[in-house]
């Protein structure tokens, strides 16, 4: 094995990170994205077939392999799908057993390229709605605190706004809960873009949106907003919340429809290939 006399540095072709070339004739790993980076003097041929251009490198030992020698697997690691390639060495196969072997026919039958455009629209619509919900909650919190502590109506005795022990405690508690719920909606809205989670995320988003609407109405009753002397506040809150709700409603229902179609496509592929 040829050792590099001095540690060189090259850029990773995947992430652009700086890779230290420890071995000029073997694969080096990018410390940022873990992508294999070939050594400057490394042969591009398959380790088992001289003269045959390699197509990938084993993620365990780093040997270059051609299509006949490579084994491809799909692994789920922390919710992310990774393509794992390993060679035919027993130890490399053993290290790769955590990932499932790739079924190329199944992959073809479950290709979701047809939904790319719609998925982007769903992500943008639900994402915009979720962001508007977050902004609404911020405005709602500030408004309720201002009404509670800085208006004659909120400071009147007895307090027109319910509280537990001290004036404003219920306002703070419900505002925090509303902010947490809006954060959950935003996080779920970002999941509708993931094929495997689209259907479940759409259903959860729709159900949670209903809960959010009921929670808003309950807060309106608790805060006694209909009695607030400024007549513009309630219509403004309802309109702004309604716009955000409509966006999320449309996005979640579309996600359910597209996700259900993908589910049927996967089930049909399993039946065709006898994987059920």
Q: What is the pLDDT of residue 124?
A: 94
**pLDDT (tens digit per residue) in 190-213:** 888 888 889 999 999 999 999 999
**pTM: predicted TM-score of the whole model, two decimal places:** 0.69
Q: What is the pLDDT of residue 6?
A: 56
Contacts 24+ apart (CB under 8 A), 147-150: 147/223, 147/228
Query: For 45, which DSSP code?
Result: B
Question: pLDDT band for position 269 (50/70/90)?
Answer: confident
Look at 224 and 31; give whichever has higher pLDDT. Answer: 224
Average pLDDT for residues 110-126, to the nearest whole number? 91
**pLDDT (tens digit per residue) in 26-47:** 788 888 877 788 877 788 889 8
Q: What is the pLDDT of residue 3?
A: 46
Question: pLDDT band for position 2 (50/70/90)?
Answer: very low
Q: What is the pLDDT of residue 79?
A: 54
| Token pair belonging to 11 | 């850029």
Do 148 and 170 touch, CB atoms closer than 8 A? no
Do 246 and 212 touch, CB atoms closer than 8 A? no
Q: What is the pLDDT of residue 134?
A: 92
Average pLDDT for the chain: 87
Q: What is the pLDDT of residue 276?
A: 59
Instruction: Report the percentage of the chain scoring pLDDT > 70.
Output: 95
The neighbouring-strand residues paired with 64 are 57
| Rounded-to-integer distance, Cα 94 and Cα 140, Å | 56
Determine whether 115 is exposed, middle or buried from the number of CB atoms within 10 Å of its CB (0-12, 13-18, 19+). middle
Q: What is the pLDDT of residue 77?
A: 67
**pLDDT (tens digit per residue) in 159-200:** 888 888 888 888 889 989 999 999 999 999 988 888 888 999
| Rounded-to-integer distance, Cα 182 and Cα 95, Å | 42
The answer for 40, left when phi > 0, alpha when psi is -120 to 50, beta otherwise, is alpha
Q: What is the pLDDT of residue 201?
A: 94
Average pLDDT for residues 51-67, to the nearest whole number? 88
């Amino acid at each position: 094995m040829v050792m590099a006399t001095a540690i060189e540095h090259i850029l990773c072709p995947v992430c652009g990170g700086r890779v230290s070339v420890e071995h000029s004739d073997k694969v080096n790993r990018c410390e940022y994205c873990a992508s294999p980076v070939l050594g400057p003097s490394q042969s591009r041929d398959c380790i088992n077939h001289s003269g045959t251009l390699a197509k990938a490198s084993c993620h365990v030992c780093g040997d270059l392999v051609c299509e006949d020698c490579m084994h491809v697997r799909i692994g789920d690691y922390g919710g992310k799908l990774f393509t794992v390639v390993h060679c035919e060495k027993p130890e490399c196969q053993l290290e790769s057993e955590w990932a499932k072997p790739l079924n190329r026919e199944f992959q073809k039958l479950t290709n979701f390229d047809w939904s790319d455009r719609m998925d982007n629209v769903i992500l943008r619509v639900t994402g915009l709605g979720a962001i508007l919900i977050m902004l609404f909650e911020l405005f709602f919190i500030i408004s309720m605190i201002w009404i509670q502590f800085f208006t004659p109506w909120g400071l009147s005795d007895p307090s027109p706004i319910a509280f537990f022990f001290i004036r404003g405690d219920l306002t703070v508690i419900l505002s925090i809960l509303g902010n947490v719920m809006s954060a959950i909606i935003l996080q779920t809205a970002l999941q509708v873009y993931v094929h495997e989670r689209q259907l479940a995320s759409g259903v959860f988003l729709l159900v949670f949106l209903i809960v959010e609407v009921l929670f808003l109405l309950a807060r309106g009753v608790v805060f006694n907003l209909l009695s607030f002397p400024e007549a513009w506040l309630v219509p403004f809150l309802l309109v702004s919340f309604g716009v955000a709700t409509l966006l999320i409603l449309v996005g979640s229902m579309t996600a359910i429809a597209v996700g259900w179609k993908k589910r049927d496509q996967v089930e049909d592929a399993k039946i065709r290939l006898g994987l059920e």
